Amino acid sequence: MSTSLILISNREAGSMLDAMSDPAGQAWAVNAREVLQRAGHHRGAARERLIDLLSDQDCALSALEIEDGLRRDGPVARASVYRTLELLHDHELVTRLELGDGVARYEPADPSGHHHHHHLLCERCGQLVPFDDAGLERSIRQLSRRLGFTTKEHEVTLRGRCPDCP
């Protein structure tokens, strides 16, 4: 049974990406800007900053978390954050998640499938852990075919206890 696994806590992932100067994120940002430009969009400051911030991220952030992050470098309007996220989502450049706590989270979308992953939310420590599983993906592909359903996005969320929380 081939199961590929990426298991990264938010904190660890941040430093990993720092260490490798985040080539994947850069690629995403470049592509995102290109897509928006082709669609006839200008390059406003807030949007540019948001794209940079998201590209440094490995896992989902809420709109308010993004706003906070941006504010550390200077003021931003909340509306710009929401509008930019909506725009990115319309162009399928971000994935929008709702993990069951009433807050929408966003993360860079990954058309190549290289960084595709799902989420596991520990109900005890609140940690959000991205994971990837080939068997699961296979099941979903087969299932979609069987149902005659054209699946554009899919999302799997596990809620429970992580290995560190007994």
- Residue 142: name its binding partner from a copy of itself, DNA, none (Cβ under 5 to 8 Å by kind): a copy of itself
Cβ-defined contacts of 35-40 (< 8 Å, 24+):
35/91, 35/93, 36/87, 36/91, 36/93, 39/91
> Which residue of 22, 47, 119, 162 would you call a contact of DNA, by CB under 7 A?
47
Kind and range of the H or E element at 50? helix 45-55
CA distances from 143 to 38, 59, 63, 129, 147 (A): 35, 26, 32, 25, 6
Q: Of 17-25, 36-44, 45-53, 90-98, which part binds a copy of itself (CB under 8 A)?
A: 90-98
Q: How far is the CB of 69 from DNA (least distance, A)?
A: 14
> Which residue of 23, 102, 113, 163 would you call a contact of DNA, by CB under 7 A?
102
Residue 125: phi, psi to the nearest 5? -100, -5
Cβ atoms of residues 52 and 103 within 8 Å: no
Interface with DNA, residue 44, by CB under 7 A: yes
Site of interaction with DNA (CB under 7 A) = 36-37, 40-48, 62-64, 75-80, 82-84, 86, 102-104
**Which residues in this chain contact a copy of itself in the complex, by CB under 8 A?**
1, 3, 5, 7, 96-100, 102, 104, 120, 123, 131, 133, 135-136, 138-140, 142-144, 146-163
